[in-house]
């Protein structure tokens, strides 16, 4: 792998620009939209990104220069093409296009979910994992097979993080709710039954979030937080375990903002231990949304010739990871034979 890529992330509340090369992350500058009240307001988040886009880009170029990487050294510009909030995606895509045109560099549109996986493969020893990607808006179990990252299971409604945030808002806890739910859950071991919804390989969190809010009428906040976590995490761990069994893989990688949760990590760790699989968690800065992962997948895609024309660089708020042809991973001989048979 060779090259230097500047990548911009801005699918939701984090605006982040980073420069990576084949050796490492050179520089990263992030500015986070923080809602005054309630959750993420898409238009306000997009306005935040528009306001700070030139700042994060200028600053990341400055920081890279201090480390000996000049603007002329950049080979390509990558950006999050989706999935995400439409208004945010469009703002960041506009910034990326302007940068590509003014620097006369190729443009690369990155799938945000795949960037979470690839940064995990980069920053942990995982090589061919089943990935549990749990963030605010997304919740998926993914693994590579024959030229694509396949979605083995996913949420049928909202993301796990959003389910937590929604419950938290109802309970009067400020955004983001996840970290506070984790703290409160630690104070209880009293499990209240809540709807456990796994359908085939998919899961659903909306009913669980509502039931948890209703349970607050009869139970303490600590007990409900504990039960909400236990239920939601058992659901995603069950599906991750079945994806492991189905694919025969022996590594699990965790990604997304909810991956910061220590109880979720513990449950995955126990499951992996019991199955003889290895469990990998990247450093926290690479788990939530970050520019480094967009720049890094941009670099993989640059090296494998995945460049797009400006005219084809429209964003896709529902961009599915299994829509991307993955030509930066070498299939092993057995898999190639499977495909040709």
Q: Which residues bind ligand AMP (CB under 6 A)?
A: 12, 135-136, 161-162, 164-165, 176-179, 182, 256-258, 260-261, 288-289
Identity of the residue, 91 or 306, whose beta carbon is nearer to ligand AMP in the bound complex: 91
According to DSSP, the residues that pair with 173 across neighbouring strands are: none
Alpha carbons 160 and 258: distance in angstroms, whole number: 8
Biggest distance spanned by C-alpha atoms of the chain: 63
Within 8 A by CB and 6+ apart from 148, the residues are 322, 324, 325, 326
Minimum CB–partner distance for residue 134 and ligand AMP (Å)? 8
Minimum CB–partner distance for residue 287 and ligand AMP (Å)? 7
Nearest Cα to 176, choosing from 84, 92, 256? 256
State both tokens at 174: 């400020």
Minimum CB–partner distance for residue 164 and ligand AMP (Å)? 5
Out of 13, 289, 295, 315, point to the residue binding Mg ion (CB under 5 A).
289
* DSSP character string of 57-88: HHHHHHHHHHTT--GGG--EEEEEEESS-HHH
Minimum CB–partner distance for residue 257 and ligand AMP (Å)? 2
Geometric angle at alpha carbon 329, from 323 and 330, rounded to 5°: 130
Out of 135, 188, 227, 229, point to the residue binding Mg ion (CB under 5 A).
135
Minimum CB–partner distance for residue 99 and ligand AMP (Å)? 23
Q: Which stretch binds Mg ion (CB under 5 A): 49-57, 98-106, 289-297, 324-332?
A: 289-297
Residue 182: contacted member of Mg ion, ligand AMP, none (CB under 5 to 8 Å, by partner type):
ligand AMP
Residue 144: contacted member of Mg ion, ligand AMP, none (CB under 5 to 8 Å, by partner type):
none
Identity of the residue, 110 or 300, whose beta carbon is nearer to Mg ion in the bound complex: 110
Alpha carbons 240 and 117: distance in angstroms, whole number: 14
| Count of chain residues binding Mg ion (CB under 5 A) | 2
State both tokens at 259: 């991956």
| Site of interaction with Mg ion (CB under 5 A) | 135, 289
């Amino acid at each position: 792998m060779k090259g230097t890529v500047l990548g911009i992330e801005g699918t939701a509340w984090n605006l982040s620009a980073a420069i990576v090369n084949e050796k490492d992350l050179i520089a990263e500058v992030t500015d986070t939209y923080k809602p005054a009240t309630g959750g993420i307001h898409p238009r306000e988040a997009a306005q935040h990104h528009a306001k700070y886009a030139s700042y994060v880009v200028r600053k990341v170029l400055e920081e890279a220069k201090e480390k000996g990487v000049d603007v002329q050294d950049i080979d390509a510009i990558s950006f999050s093409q989706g999935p995400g909030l439409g208004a945010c995606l469009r703002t960041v895509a506009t910034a990326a296009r302007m940068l590509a045109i003014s620097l006369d560099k190729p443009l690369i549109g990155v799938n945000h979910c795949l960037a979470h996986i690839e940064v995990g493969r980069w920053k942990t020893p995982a090589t061919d994992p089943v990935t549990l990607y749990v963030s605010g808006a997304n919740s998926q179990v993914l693994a590579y097979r024959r030229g694509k990252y396949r979605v083995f299971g996913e949420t049928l409604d909202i993301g796990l993080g959003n389910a937590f945030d929604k419950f938290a808002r109802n309970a009067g806890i400020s955004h983001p709710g996840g970290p506070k739910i984790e703290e409160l859950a630690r104070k209880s071991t009293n499990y209240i039954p809540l709807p456990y919804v796994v359908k085939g390989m998919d899961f659903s969190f909306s009913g669980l979030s509502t039931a948890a809010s209703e349970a607050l009428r009869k139970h303490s906040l600590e007990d409900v937080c504990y039960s909400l976590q236990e239920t939601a995490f058992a659901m995603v761990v069950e599906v991750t375990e079945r994806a492991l069994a189905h694919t025969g893989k022996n590594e699990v990688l965790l990604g997304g903002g909810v991956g910061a949760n220590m109880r979720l990590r513990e449950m995955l760790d126990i499951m992996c231990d019991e199955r003889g699989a290895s469990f990998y968690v990247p450093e926290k800065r690479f788990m939530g949304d970050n520019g480094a992962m967009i720049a890094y997948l941009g670099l993989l895609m640059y090296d494998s010739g995945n460049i797009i024309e400006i005219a084809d660089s429209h964003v896709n708020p529902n961009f599915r990871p299994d829509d991307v042809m993955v030509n930066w991973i070498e299939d092993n001989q057995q898999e190639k034979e499977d495909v040709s048979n």
